[in-house]
Structure 1
C-alpha cells in the first residue's frame, strides 16, 4: 500500500508540473500571445523532428497559412513570413546577431566566415577576402570562370550525345555536372587553380561525398551545440563512412597543395587570409568551407535551371534567341545586361531553394515590436530567437502568383517592390552570402553558354518535380536532377 501511495504522489507531482507548464506557456510567459500549436509552445521537439525528416519548411508554411504571418514554433522561438520584417531583423543597424546554432557549422572546432557569431572575428577574415568578390575583380578574372564553363559545355554535349545514342535509356545527371562546374569555377577564380571536377568524367564528383556530409549536418542544425557535438562524435565513432573519408581526404589534399604551391604567394583567397595573420590550419578550413558552399548552392541552382529550361522549351527558345541577338551587338557582350538571361537566373534562384529553412537571429535586449498585417501588435523580448525562411517568402502566392511555376517573365513585367524585397536567395544584410556576386556571375555565364551552344536542344526533364530534403542546406532526393535526350 505504501508503494502504491508513493506512485500516486509521484504521478500527481508530474501532472501538476505538466499542467503548470501548459498554463505558463499558454497564458503567462512573454510569448504566450504569439499564435501557434500547443506542442510548439511547450517544446522544441516539433521543430527538431521536422528538421531531421526534411519537411520543416513546408510544415512551417502550413502553420503560417493557419495562424498568420507570425507563429511560435518553439518555447523561445518565433518565425515571421511577412517580408516587411526582413529589414529590422537582418539589415537595420547591421541586423540581429546569429543564433547560437550556427556554431554547428564550425569545422574542426574553427568558426568560419559563415558560422561565426563574433563580428570582430568575421571582420578580420571577410575584410581580407572581400575585394575578390567585388564585381570589378570578378570581371577582371572572368576568363578563369569562362574556361571552366567551356569545359562544362563540352562535357554536357558529350553526355547528351551518349543519351541520344542510348535512345533515352541513359539519363544524364546534370546535378553532378553542375556541381563539377561550380567547384571548378570557384576554385579556379578564388584559389588560382581549378579542382578538375569537370574533367573527372565519372558518375559522381569526387568531392560530392564531402559536400553531402556537410549538407547532412543541416538536419541537426537547430539543435543545441552540445547535443549536436555529441551526435556527431557518436556518428563518427560508430557509423564511419569510408566514401566520406575518402572524399574529405581528396578535398583536403587539394587544399593542402594550394597552401604549399605557387598560389600561396599570389593574391588568392588563401594568400589574403595568410597575409591577414590567419594560421595555415584555419586557412585550410576556410578554403574547405568555400568549396562546400560554392559547390552545393550554385550547383543545385544551375541544375534546377537546366531542368526547368528542358521542361519549358518556350522559355529555352526565347532565351536562345535573345542571347543570339545580344551577341550580334558588341555593346551587349556582357551577360549581365541581357534582360531575359537575368530573368531566367533570378527565377531559377527563386525556386531552386538551396537554403530553404529559417535563418535564425537573436532579438537584442531592447526587444522587437512587430505589427502583423491584421493589425495585431506583438512584442518579442530580448533573447527571443526569431527568423524568416526563404521558402515562405519565395513561394508566397500574394507576392509571386503561381509561385511554384518557373516563369522568368514575372521579372520582366514590372516586378513589384515586394517581389524585389522578398527575393533573398543569398540571405540579407551584413551577413548575407559573401560570394553572391561570384555565384550569380557563374550562373549567368553558364546559362548564356548553354543557350548560345544549344546544349539543351532535344533535352527532356526526367520526373514531374525536383524533390528536396528541406534541411538548412537542401538535399536533392536521390542526389540526381536528370535530363534525357532524343
Structure 2
C-alpha cells in the first residue's frame, strides 16, 4: 500500500509524469485498437504499417514504396495493410471493381496534393461533376480521329527528335535519351493539344528548359499520402527555406509559355485552352489545366520512350526483328499497314510500357458506403484500397521472368487473358489517363522513325541498371538514361 501511495502521489504531484503516463496509455490503447479491433485488423501487413501511417509516409518519401510493398506481398499474400486504413491489392481481378465498374470507387483525398496553383485539375479532383464538365470539353482532342487529322504535325515532332538523337550520337559522348525523349513528349503534347510547338527538340543544352518544372511536380510524389493540410504547409516551408534557382527559372519559362498560349487563344479556338475558356473558368485555372498536361505528358511519355530506346540497345536481336518488320512495312506500297497494326512493334511498345515504371505506385481509391467484399475479404466503407503497376506488371505468374524485355509476350499466339488483365500502364476505367491515345501514338511514331533511320544501331547502354525513386511518378536517379555509340555515326 505504501508503494502504491507513493506512486500515486508522484504522479499527481508531477504534471509531466502524468502527461507521460496518459500519453503512453493512449498510444498503447491506439496500437491495440489498430492491431486487434480496427475494421481492417483481419488484413495482414508489417507491424508498424498496421499501427501508424508513418510507415507508408517514410517509404513514399525515400522512394522504395513499390519494392517494399512487393516484398510484403511475398510474405503476407495478395492483401497487404500498408497503413492503418489502407490496403494494397496485388490481384488483377480487383482492377475492375475498384476502377471500372459503375465508374469505380472515388479517388482518395490525397490526390488533392497534385492540385496546381491552387486549382484542382482533371487529374487531381475527386469531384466527379467537376471533372466531367471539363473532361467533356477536351476529350474529343484525344480521339483517334482527331489525332489522325493531326498526324503530319506529330510525325514532324518525331522526325525532329530523331534528327536530334542522330546529331548527338555522332559526338561519341554519352547521350541522355531521357532528355531527348522528353523533348519529343513536350513537343507532341504542345503541338497537338495547344496547336503551338514548345520546340523542345531544338534546345541544345544538357537539360530541357521544361525538365526542372517537370521534376518539381514529380517530387510531389514524395509526400503524396500526407494529409493535404500538412502537405501545403510542408510545400510552403520547402519553397521558403530551400529555394531552387534552377527550378524557379524553369517554372518561369513554362509560365511564360502558358500565359502567352492562353492569353492569345482567340474566341472559338479548338485547341485545349480554347475548349476550356467557354466553360467560364478563371483564366488561372485554364492555365493550371494546361500546365498539368505539360507535366504529365512530358514525364510519363519521356520515361516510357527512353526505356524503349534503352531496351532496344540492350537487345540487338529484338531490334533486328523490329527493324525488319518496320522496313518491310515501309516498302509494302499499297499493302502497307497502319503502324499500330504491326504485331512486333506493338509488342515492343507494350513491353516497354510494362517495365518502364513511369507510375509504379498505387492508385488509392475509397471504398464506398456499404463496404466492399472481394473474394471473401471485407473492406469497410471509408478505407482506402488500390493496385499498383509494379505489382501487376512484375507478377511472375502472369509474366515469367518479369524483369526481362520480351516483346513476344504480346504476340497474338502468346497473349494470355491474365496478361491483358494485368496491363495497368495508364490505369483503368473512366479515371484512366485521359491522354493515353496520344501518348501511345507518340511511342509508335517515335519508334517507327527511329528504327526506319536505324539510329539505334551500334548503341550501347551506359548504365548497368536504371534506378528510380518509386514515387507516384517515378524519378530516375541521376536524371539520366544514357546510350553511347562506340563508333560514332557518320
TM-score of the pair, normalised by structure 2:
0.94
Instruction: Describe how 1:92-171 pairs up with structure 2 within 5 A.
Output: 92-163=101-172, 170-171=173-174
Q: How far apart, in 2, do the equivalents of 1:12 and 1:220 lie? A: 32
Q: Displacement, 1:139? A: 0.8
Instruction: Describe how 1:62-461 pairs up with structure 2 within 5 A.
Output: 62-163=71-172, 170-261=173-264, 265-329=268-332, 330-371=334-375, 377-412=376-411, 413-461=413-461
SS at match of 2:44: coil
Q: Displacement, 1:36? A: 1.1
Contact 1:264–1:270, Cα closer than 8 Å, also in 2: no
Q: How far apart, in 2, do the equivalents of 1:139 and 1:263 lie? A: 24
Q: How far apart, in 1, do the equivalents of 2:30 and 2:138 lie? A: 49
Contact 2:408–2:414, Cα closer than 8 Å, also in 1: no
Q: How far apart, in 2, do the equivalents of 1:365 and 1:78 lie? A: 17
Contact 1:105–1:115, Cα closer than 8 Å, also in 2: yes
Contact 1:192–1:263, Cα closer than 8 Å, also in 2: no
Could you tell which deviates more after superposition, 276-285 or 247-256? 276-285
Contact 2:265–2:273, Cα closer than 8 Å, also in 1: no
Aligned pairs, how many? 475
Q: How far apart, in 2, do the equivalents of 1:385 and 1:4 lie? A: 41
Structure 2: 5+ residue stretches without partners: 1-5
SS at match of 2:483: strand
TM-score of the pair, normalised by structure 1:
0.95
Q: Displacement, 1:264? A: 6.2
What residue number does 1:46 align with? 55
Q: How far apart, in 1, do the equivalents of 2:382 and 2:11 lie? A: 44
SS at match of 2:239: helix
Q: How far apart, in 2, do the equivalents of 1:258 and 1:229 lie? A: 28
CA deviations 1:342-390 (Å, max 9, x no partner) are 100000000001100110000001111022xxxxx22111100111111
Q: Displacement, 1:279? A: 2.4
Q: Displacement, 1:275? A: 2.2
Q: Displacement, 1:108? A: 1.2
Contact 1:102–1:115, Cα closer than 8 Å, also in 2: yes
Structure 1: 5+ residue stretches without partners: 164-169, 372-376
Matched, 1:58 2:67: yes
TM-align CA RMSD:
1.4
Q: Displacement, 1:331? A: 3.4
